[in-house]
Amino acid sequence: MIPTSKQPSRLLSLFCTAALLWWAPCIAPAGEPDGFAVVVLPDTQIYSEKFPDTYLAQTAWIKKRVADDNIEFVIHLGDIVQNAHVEKEWEAADRAHRELDGVVPYSVLPGNHDMDSKDKRLTRETFFYDRYFPPARFEEHAWYGGHMGPGNQNNYCIFDAAGLKFMVVSLEFAPTDEALRWAAGVLTKHADRRTIVATHCYMRPDGRDTCATAGYGLTGNSGQQVWDKLIRKHPNVFLVLSGHVLGVAHQTSTNDAGGRVHEVLVDYQGLPNGGDGWLQILRFAPDENAIRVDAFSPLLHKHSPAPEHSYRLAYPMASIQPQPAG
């Protein structure tokens, strides 16, 4: 398997050749000129419940690799815990994320497992999420842009990398119309920022998901509705990330301005031990006008060579800037 440490160029070249002749793809080393990485943490719920050391291994690895991999941001896709009412699980998640506090900007959002329930139906109350991941945890940092209402269920963050301006907008599970209107305002206000939208439920392997209409008892928007009401209308959105549904998939759609929007599903919790520590690394390569998607497990110390886990997304960064919404 491919090691995470950086190699001298001659040895790396020999290793890459051997890897290609064997079976594993050769992942280019981090630290290319102007290249940077965004790490995605999907569905950590089983780690919080049963394997807290795996969750900690993920964030400890991120902390260790921030400089060498030029990690600029970390995005959690929701379902932080398995049981929203069990504080021990939130304590495990808090312990893991404390590895990132003050080290690298990161965002969180509530999935359906992070929401409280009543009579076996979800509510939009998020008691322990509000206790452990409130706005106050982030507001001292310049990269934290703000939130909707008093809580942190819907929030946005900003960061600059490779001379480019980015934003991450995080939306609650099955976002309400109010949340989509708030997000539209944020996207319009920051139309010059290349934007990633993260929400817990948006895609299935075969297309956009139904989410709120799937028996959770919530009034909210499905993946298709989020696309129709929000994503397609804002040309600065170039990437949508979601979890919730077991598996990995990606598709590329065209927004109303004729631009490409990459939509990515990533959720490893169906693998052994709640996901074996797998996370997703988005390596932005401005000189290639591409994002190299890489699956890696800090627990197993492995990259995945499978094409559904490791692939490239075309994304112009060298010269094309996002245009303000009209």
**Residue 294 sits in a domain of what CATH number?**
3.60.21.10
pLDDT computed for residue 113 by the predictor: 96
Structural domain contains residue 280: yes
pLDDT computed for residue 315 by the predictor: 97
Please count the structural domains in the chain: 1
Structural domain contains residue 262: yes
Residue-wise pLDDT for 50-75, tens only, equals 999 999 999 999 999 999 999 999 99
Structural domain contains residue 291: yes
Domain with 226, as residue range(s), is 32-314
Is pLDDT above 90 for 40?
yes
pLDDT computed for residue 12 by the predictor: 33
Percent of the chain predicted with pLDDT > 70: 87
Structural domain contains residue 5: no
Structural domain contains residue 108: yes
Structural domain contains residue 62: yes
Rounded (10°) CA dihedral 15, 65, 128, 86: 50
Structural domain contains residue 223: yes
Is pLDDT above 80 for 191?
yes
pLDDT computed for residue 172 by the predictor: 97
Statement: the pTM of the whole predicted model exceeds 0.85:
yes
Residue-wise pLDDT for 219-270, tens only, equals 899 999 999 999 999 999 999 999 999 999 999 999 999 999 999 999 999 9
